């Protein structure tokens, strides 16, 4: 796995750990998605999505759900 991908996974899990705890999972996913949308570059979101679609095992629960949501948003935007 590349350093870049390792870091992407780590960052996404870290975000989920820090803003997701103690919220119900819907709220947590919202917040994580929002954070990634506001602060991540396109290519990083892509890397996250690609990783999730190919494997995704190292992502924690909230990160996985957030990634699914990101895919949906991308699809919406593409329309």
Considering the complex, what minimum distance in angstroms separates the CB of residue 68 from another protein?
A: 20
Question: Which residues make Cβ contacts (< 8 Å) with residue 4, sequence separation at least 6?
Answer: 47
Residue 74 to residue 22: CA distance in whole angstroms: 28
Q: Which residue from 39, 53, 55, 72 is in contact with another protein, where contact means CB under 8 A?
A: 39
Return the residues of window 6-25 that contact another protein according to CB under 8 A: 7, 11, 14-15, 17-19, 21-23
Helix (DSSP H) and strand (DSSP E) numbers for the chain = 4, 0
Could you list the residues that contact another protein (CB under 8 A)? 2-4, 7, 11, 14-15, 17-19, 21-23, 35, 37-44
């Amino acid at each position: 796995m590349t350093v870049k991908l390792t870091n992407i996974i780590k960052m996404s899990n870290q975000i989920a750990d820090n803003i997701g705890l103690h919220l119900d999972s819907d709220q947590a996913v919202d917040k994580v998605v929002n954070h990634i949308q506001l602060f991540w570059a396109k290519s990083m979101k892509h890397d996250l999505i690609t990783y999730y679609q190919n494997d995704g095992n190292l992502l924690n629960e909230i990160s996985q759900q957030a990634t699914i949501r990101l895919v949906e948003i991308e699809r919406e935007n593409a329309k």
